Amino acid sequence: MSQERKDNYYLALRQIARVANSNLSLRRILNSTARSAARAVGVSGCRICLLDAQKEYLINVGVHGLSDFYLKKAPLDARKSIPEVLEGKVVCVTDVSQDKRVIHPQTAKTAGISSIMAAPLMEKGEVVGEIRLYTHEPHQFSAADKNFLLTVANMSAVLLERDELHRLLEKGYKLPGEQTTPPQLPTTARRPTEFVHPSEEEFARLLDFYRIEWLYEPRSFPLRWENGSIAEMCTPDFYLPALDLYIELTTLKQNLVTEKNRKIRRLKELYPEINIKLLNKADFLRLLAKYGYGSLGEAKVPNIERILFTHSQIQRRVKTLARKISRDYAGKHLTLVGVLKGVVCFMTDLMQHLSIPVTVDFMGISYYGIGEDQVVKITKDLDESITGRDVLMVEDIVDTGMTLNYVLRHLQSHDPASLRVCTLLDKRVRRLVDVPLDYVGFEIPDEFIVGYGLDYKGEFRNLPFIGTFHPQPKKERISPK
Ligand code: IMP
Ligand code: MG
């Protein structure tokens, strides 16, 4: 190895260590690490990526010298793109157009990439991510380049581990010997993402709270081509791998929303297999309002705009549901489980009309935006074991489905003999997480509602009817019949 090359490696490692010890953000430290590594080897680009929780996708955490176009192609599928790296190997691809291990050779070519070298990021013997170097011209990487890249990979892994440890300590995690278990942080919490819009950050926090894995702007979809090159693209804000769902937030002005709608329609035409949902401003504010802030949260004088279901309509429907449940569980003993507090009215009415033997139990969970919790938690668990029992989960309303999804996973872990769901209200149009519903009282439109147990900031649960809630007072108040 030439002296000049040795000097380059040495200077790069010195620079990486210096920046690592600065007070820059993790994202900037890793971008700088990628730059130093690329320059030392004399290549054009470098990226440092982490594996997501499912160990399927590689998420960029540090990047240097790669075009936006290349970075926003389909999310990098770790098991398809140069998969040997997941076995802990350093892999060199001398010509991307000739190598089957490169999943988007055309995109790589368009972005001017010829050769790639990839090394694993290891934490305690396990692969947690990768570092990749890219060249414009075909390049033969040397053994010394490989060793250097492995060294940078090890340093990056230590930096990521240090960052995670800091976060845990900030959250009150005690070091070993102090008998505290670390809080279970979602993997997304360690991902340094910079959001374009504050509403996106709020949405990411909401997903983190319900432990739903997300990727931010992982992929761009070409929509229009001119003279063989891409003239228009659409980059949805979020991808939720577990639900295989893209989400585009449009909290912008109405004229821009029309443009976005057009793009999404085009995307659906060109990529029919892609599952994408548009959350417009009203949807998004309602989602936040549910947790007591957003535009409804600014309401000075609350009011009921319209009665959706009167007391007698509710009673009739509850009786019908109870008859069906009693028939389905004839000869069995049923355990009803409800999550406090919204379900109280429905639960008490429903159980009085059941003709089979039942026991009733309640759980409490923390809700997003209330208190300091980072992730959803059980604040009151079941009093009795449900193992081997026939369980019916009773809900007041299923909206996005995130709460029910979490609770069902918890109940399922206790091995009940059977587990079904009964909900009085189903706001199906707003569903994000698909949850199975066995008994449904009413399907309702996308409106914020209160009454019969449902609240707005803790109030209105005592109304004997279900009504739509509106911030502006109406001239004449509607009263229940
Ligand atoms: P999800 O997790 O989005 O399905 O929300 C479920 C919970 O949100 C319910 O149990 C309710 O407590 C609350 N919720 C959803 N929609 C409304 C509403 O329109 N009014 C009042 N509370 C609601
Ligand atoms: Mg509820």
Q: How confident is the model at residue 183 (pLDDT cuts 50, 70, 90)?
A: very low
**What is the atom index within ligand 1 of the atom nearest the CA of 398?**
4
pLDDT for position 377:
87
Q: Say if CB 422 and CB 350 are below 8 A apart.
A: yes
Element (H, E) at 337: strand 334-339
The residue among 119 and 370 whose pLDDT is bigger is 119
CA separation for the pair 146, 231 (Å, rounded) = 38
pLDDT at 61 over 80: yes
Q: How confident is the model at residue 150 (pLDDT cuts 50, 70, 90)?
A: very high
What are the angstrom distances between the C-alpha of 455 and each of 11, 22, 206, 290, 399?
62, 48, 20, 9, 14
The residue among 282 and 215 whose pLDDT is bigger is 215
Q: How confident is the model at residue 175 (pLDDT cuts 50, 70, 90)?
A: low
Q: How confident is the model at residue 172 (pLDDT cuts 50, 70, 90)?
A: low
**Mean pLDDT, range 329-335, rounded to an integer:** 97
Hey, what are 386's tokens?
A: 């449900």
pLDDT at 420 over 50: yes
* Residues 427-476: tens digit of each pLDDT: 998 898 989 999 999 999 888 899 999 998 888 899 888 999 876 554 44
Q: Which residue has the tokens 């790669």?
A: 66
Q: How confident is the model at residue 182 (pLDDT cuts 50, 70, 90)?
A: very low
Q: Say if CB 170 and CB 159 are below 8 A apart.
A: no
Q: How many CA atoms lie within 13 A of 3 on its CB side?
A: 0
CA separation for the pair 320, 350 (Å, rounded) = 10
Hey, what are 136's tokens?
A: 């414009």
Among the listed residues 237, 349, 390, 399, the single catalytic one is: 399
pLDDT at 56 over 50: yes
pLDDT for position 187:
47
pLDDT at 372 over 90: no
Hey, what are 83's tokens?
A: 């998969």
Q: Which residue has the tokens 């039942």?
A: 358
Task: Assess whether the C-beta atom of 437 lies below 6 angstroms from ligand 1.
Answer: no
Task: Assess whether the C-beta atom of 396 lies below 6 angstroms from ligand 1.
Answer: yes
Fold of 311-476: Rossmann fold (3.40.50)
**Mean pLDDT, range 30-58, rounded to an integer:** 90
The CATH number fitting domain 3-170, selected from 3.30.450.40, 3.40.640.10, 3.40.50.2300, 3.20.20.70: 3.30.450.40
Cα 325 to middle of ligand 2, angstroms: 20
Hey, what are 382's tokens?
A: 């079941």
**Mean pLDDT, range 328-341, rounded to an integer:** 97
Cis ω before 341 (30° cut-off from 0): yes
Cα 366 to middle of ligand 1, angstroms: 13
Inter-residue long-range contacts of 40-44, CB under 8 Å, 24+ positions, other chains counted: 40/8, 40/9, 40/11, 40/12, 40/148, 41/133, 41/141, 41/145, 41/148, 41/149, 42/8, 43/133, 43/134, 43/135, 43/139, 44/112, 44/134, 44/135, 44/136
**DSSP states along 446-474:** S--EEBTTB-BTTBSTT-SSEEEEESSPP
Most confident by average pLDDT, 74-78, 143-147, 259-263: 143-147
CA separation for the pair 74, 315 (Å, rounded) = 51
pLDDT for position 188:
45
CA separation for the pair 295, 291 (Å, rounded) = 11
**Mean pLDDT, range 163-178, rounded to an integer:** 64
pLDDT for position 55:
79
The residue among 63 and 423 whose pLDDT is bigger is 423
Helices 3-20, 26-41: crossing angle, 10 deg rounding? 180
Q: Which CATH class is domain 198-300?
A: alpha beta
Which residue has the least CA distance to atom 3 on ligand 1? 400
Lowest mean pLDDT among 121-130, 180-189, 253-262: 180-189
pLDDT at 158 over 80: yes
Domain extent listing, the chain: 3-170, 198-300, 311-476
Q: Say if CB 334 and CB 356 are below 8 A apart.
A: yes
For 249-395, where are the alpha helices, taking DSSP H only? 254-270, 281-289, 311-328, 344-352
Q: Say if CB 373 and CB 366 are below 8 A apart.
A: yes
- For the chain, percent of residues with pLDDT exceeding 70: 85
pLDDT at 295 over 60: no
The residue among 228 and 302 whose pLDDT is bigger is 228
| Catalytic residue check, 399 | yes
pTM (predicted TM-score): 0.56
CA separation for the pair 389, 335 (Å, rounded) = 7
Phi/psi at 19 (nearest 5 deg)?
-65, -35
Q: How confident is the model at residue 174 (pLDDT cuts 50, 70, 90)?
A: low
Task: Assess whether the C-beta atom of 423 lies below 6 angstroms from ligand 1.
Answer: no
Give Dmax (Cα) for the chain: 91
Distance from chain centroid for Cα 200: 11
Q: Select from 395, 454, 461, 468 the residue to mutate for testing ligand 1; criterion: most ligand atoms less than 8 Å from CB.
A: 454
Task: Assess whether the C-beta atom of 290 lies below 6 angstroms from ligand 1.
Answer: yes
Nearest in space to 197 (alpha carbons), one of 260, 243, 263, 268: 260
pLDDT for position 366:
87
Residue-averaged pLDDT of the chain: 84
pLDDT for position 241:
82
**Mean pLDDT, range 33-40, rounded to an integer:** 95
Q: How confident is the model at residue 416 (pLDDT cuts 50, 70, 90)?
A: very high
Q: In the chain, what are the helix, strand and coil shares in percent, each to the nearest 5? A: 35, 25, 40
The residue among 85 and 170 whose pLDDT is bigger is 85
* Residues 306-328: tens digit of each pLDDT: 888 988 889 999 999 999 999 99
Task: Assess whether the C-beta atom of 426 lies below 6 angstroms from ligand 1.
Answer: no
**What is the atom index within ligand 1 of the atom nearest the CA of 448?**
19
Nearest in space to 130 (alpha carbons), one of 65, 86, 193: 86
